[in-house]
Structure 1
Amino acid sequence: MSYSDAEHKQASRPGSLLEVLTVSFKLGLTSFGGPIAHLGYFHNEYIERRKWLDERTYADLVALCQFLPGPASSQVGIGIGVIRAGLVGGVVAWLGFTLPSVIALVLFAMLLQSFNLGDVGWLHGLKLVAVAIVAQAVLGMGQKLASDRIRATIAVAAAATVLLWQSAAAQVLVIAASALVGVLLFRKPSEDQHAPLLIPISRTLAIVCLVMFGALLLLLPLASHYLGWDWLAMFDSFYRAGSLVFGGGHVVLPLLEQEFVPHGAISKEDFLAGYGAAQAVPGPLFTFAAYLGAMMNGITGAIIATVAIFLPAFLLVLGALPFWNQIRANLKMQGALIGINAAVVGILLAALYHPIWTTAVIAPVDFVLTAILFVMLVFWKLPPWVVVVAGMLGGLLISFIDKL
């Protein structure tokens, strides 16, 4: 796949902060379904509709963020914001994508803890929207990144591995193994050469960010222990959770439970109520930290928890991006990225089946609604928010019919 000169100029043209905020805020309001689904929403909005990046560059950015600990979808959004509008653009992209779910979960913590959200019809409809979104992403990325025998085989092998061995370690090992296969099998320069990306942050800043990441990880526990400040202990707990998790938001939830529930910082019942709320709102699942922080220390706690859990993602993305062009230009790394991109398609395919399909498509009527939503996205090319609304209404209708 190669873009025309006009498309490349459009994809590489710097954007305004307001533009980045507007688009990311819309995604923050409409991106239901968890981290894998978010990559589908991003692909639809940033790549298909706005062409801020070309297909291969987006796939390489996803591959890079899969290697980093933390919330992969949020890191991809931060990276796109940085590429589009500089360092502040990354902050703005994160704020736009994150604030809607933070606000919603803080409100849940304060007002709606007793509500049971597990069986409401509109929530089931949102799960079906996620099925359609991820299916669209698998189709689009598979056509570009796993279109020959070898890459398709890598994708299917990756899907099989992560489905049969369900752990964060499996995903990391699959990506590493696919990179090795790519180095061995794709030795020739890619015919689809990348134009160098203008990364508007310096390598000096990148190194500072990487040093800060490691220093905070090592020093925060010591400072928390010796100073005894409650807010610092909370910051340390959430920072470590954001630093040491591979696999995205779903993986961080049990770690946060182990961090706070056994010590009585929050009851198991309140934790589970927040977990249900986190599934019901759009945006990154890491914003569950805002709910926990609000439960423990009000608005101040929500702010501390949110900043702490996302700070590692910022530091790692800013630390990696300035070296990206050099990494992508290396022939061995080109081969590795080809293998990794095929593996990412397989991981996306596995997630489409489990947990997205298995938890959403339960009855024939669910399949029918999912097919309709898929056609709306792929063939009618309707905006995602229209499909989200249609899915919610369809879910309510299914719930109403079931009660008759």
Structure 2
Amino acid sequence: MNPQQQSDPGPSADEGPSADEGHDTARARGSVLEVFLAFLQLGLTSFGGPVAHLGYFRAAFVERRGWLDDRSYSDLVALCQFLPGPASSQVGIALGLGRAGWGGAIAAWIGFTLPSAVALVLFAAGVTQWSALSQSGAVHGLKVVAVAVVAQAVWGMARTLCPDRLRAGVAIVAALLVLAVPSAWGQIAAIVAGGVVGRWALQLVPLPAARHRDYGVGKTTGAVLLGLFVVLLVALPFVAAAWHSPGLAVVADFYRAGALVFGGGHVVLPLLQAGVVPSGLVSNDVFLAGYGAAQAVPGPLFTFAAFLGAVMPGPFGGWLGGLALLLAIFLPAFLLVAGALPFWETLRQREGVQRAMAGVNAAVVGVLVAALYDPVWTSAIHTRADFGLALAAFGLLVWARMSPVLVVALAAVAGGLMAL
């Protein structure tokens, strides 16, 4: 169990108001512009993935600005790790919501997401305008470094999310299932099966009760948002099929990917690949090149959706396509985090929910293992030199702890030199 999910019990009724209650009184008293500028600065400088992002957020909003205290921040992180979706972006959305209401939530998301989305759409424009770029040695280096990045994610997630034999077994079975059924349905089946096994077979230590900061979302509003999340998840594929709309079908795929990603942004890779590569909307080479490039930009990895939308044919393509799919993949994060905030204590105290989520997280490791083989490995590793480059990049990431930006840049240079 993640230590960040352990919260201290709140004070008893006769101890008087807590520090958190003092923060509640001052909630939502900042300006939307203040929130946007704070998150834009982070969006330009936050390299290193979601764990690093959460560290940057704590330094910026707990230590420097004092928007909330450490206990409230840890509690918020625990909620966003519990929910599917991009955890760091969801924390940012909730911080903006608590500081400046709904406008603050939107401003926080735009500020944190905009820099990397713009960079990836520009990269997509380069790949689209100069088709030879996708076949260049430098882009091949980006595909090879994707092997190292996904392997690093598998390595770290397996150690954290599969600490016992049962969860390791769940991960292995999930990987086999996804390899046997290489489609989005195989991935969904693996995640659901992991949740069922976790619910009925895992034993976890119950969490203590805790007070929670008020973010200004009532239970009625929260229930409506959670209901809308479920309705869109279920209805979008059926509406797309009924209207024979390929464009809406892609939006449904990206919404589903944003709604079902547990365990970190890297898990979005197999879900998106299953939605756009088999249908021919994006070639596997371009898909992996964009994924490699996404490692070199700050901000959330989910902005990879902007790259895919920009390289697709009509009705997507360019800035409009990038924006449409960016909104589609992040919309579940908005609905879930805002909808779950007023129900967090009830959710976290249900032992069955805790066990199911532990099983889901173990299955996610298996889904990512399958993706590491296909499409990442099979599309990038063709020679001994490719394997050597991937191994060197993995060593630099895991043992040398080098910045992913520098590793990606070195891999692109090495790929270009290998092509010569």
Aligned residue identity for 2:153: A
> What is the distance in 1 between the residues matched to 2:359 and 2:233?
33
Conserved in 1, the CA contact under 8 Å of 2:170 and 2:366?
yes
- 2:325 is the alignment partner of 1:314: no
Quote the residue 1:21 is aligned against.
40
> What is the distance in 2 between the residues matched to 1:58 and 1:348?
23
| 19 and 169 in structure 1: CA distance in 2 versus 1, 3 angstrom threshold | same
| 342 and 303 in structure 1: CA distance in 2 versus 1, 3 angstrom threshold | closer
Conserved in 1, the CA contact under 8 Å of 2:195 and 2:359?
yes
> What is the distance in 2 between the residues matched to 1:240 and 1:302?
15
> What is the distance in 2 between the residues matched to 1:176 and 1:182?
10
Aligned residue identity for 1:352: L
> What is the distance in 2 between the residues matched to 1:327 and 1:60?
9
> What is the distance in 2 between the residues matched to 1:318 and 1:57?
11
> What is the distance in 2 between the residues matched to 1:388 and 1:184?
42
Quote the residue 1:230 is aligned against.
none
> What is the distance in 1 between the residues matched to 2:327 and 2:105?
17
| 291 and 332 in structure 1: CA distance in 2 versus 1, 3 angstrom threshold | same
Match of 1:118, SS state, is helix
Match of 1:117, SS state, is helix
| 276 and 393 in structure 1: CA distance in 2 versus 1, 3 angstrom threshold | closer
Q: Which moved more, 1:192-201 or 1:336-345?
A: 192-201
- 2:404 is the alignment partner of 1:388: no
| 153 and 50 in structure 1: CA distance in 2 versus 1, 3 angstrom threshold | farther
> What is the distance in 2 between the residues matched to 1:58 and 1:155?
24
Conserved in 2, the CA contact under 8 Å of 1:179 and 1:336?
yes
Deviation at 1:355, TM superposition (A): 1.2
The alignment-based identity, stated in percent, is: 28
Deviation at 1:154, TM superposition (A): 0.8
Deviation at 1:22, TM superposition (A): 3.6
Aligned runs of 1:250-261 on 2, under 5 Å? 250-253=273-276
Match of 2:134, SS state, is coil
Deviation at 1:115, TM superposition (A): 2.7
Structure 1 counterpart of 2:185, from 151, 166, 169: 169
Deviation at 1:293, TM superposition (A): 8.9
> What are the Cα deviations for residues 231-283 of structure 1, in whole angstroms up to 9, with x where unaligned?
xx9996775554456663324436987xxxxxxxxxx8x99998798567525
What's the TM-score once normalised by structure 1's chain length?
Answer: 0.67
> What is the distance in 2 between the residues matched to 1:100 and 1:250?
20
Taking only aligned residues, the RMSD between alpha carbons, in angstroms, comes to 4.7
Q: Which moved more, 1:103-112 or 1:339-348?
A: 103-112
Conserved in 1, the CA contact under 8 Å of 2:39 and 2:108?
yes
Aligned residue identity for 2:368: L
- 2:179 is the alignment partner of 1:183: no
Deviation at 1:393, TM superposition (A): 1.3
Quote the residue 1:331 is aligned against.
351
Conserved in 1, the CA contact under 8 Å of 2:171 and 2:363?
yes
Aligned runs of 1:1-400 on 2, under 5 Å? 3=3, 18=37, 20-26=39-45, 41-43=49-51, 45-46=52-53, 61=80, 64-65=83-84, 72=85, 75-86=86-97, 88-89=104-105, 92-93=108-109, 96-97=112-113, 99-102=115-118, 104-105=120-121, 112-190=128-206, 198=213, 200=215, 202=217, 203-210=219-226, 214=231, 239-240=251-252, 242-243=254-255, 248-253=271-276, 281-282=293-294, 283=301, 284-287=303-306, 288-290=308-310, 307=327, 310-311=330-331, 314-320=334-340, 322-400=342-420
> What is the distance in 2 between the residues matched to 1:151 and 1:301?
39
Unaligned stretches of 5+ residues in structure 1? 32-40, 66-71, 223-232, 258-267
Conserved in 1, the CA contact under 8 Å of 2:254 and 2:325?
no
Q: Which moved more, 1:236-245 or 1:321-330?
A: 236-245
Unaligned stretches of 5+ residues in structure 2? 9-19, 28-33, 60-69, 240-244, 261-269, 295-300
> What are the Cα deviations for residues 137-188 of structure 1, in whole angstroms up to 9, with x where unaligned?
2111211211211111111111111112111111111111111111111244
Deviation at 1:125, TM superposition (A): 1.3
> What is the distance in 2 between the residues matched to 1:302 and 1:142?
32
Match of 2:225, SS state, is helix
Q: Which moved more, 1:144-153 or 1:291-300?
A: 291-300
Q: How many residues align?
A: 354
> What are the Cα deviations for residues 75-134 of structure 1, in whole angstroms up to 9, with x where unaligned?
444323234443635653455335534465368559953533331111111122222222
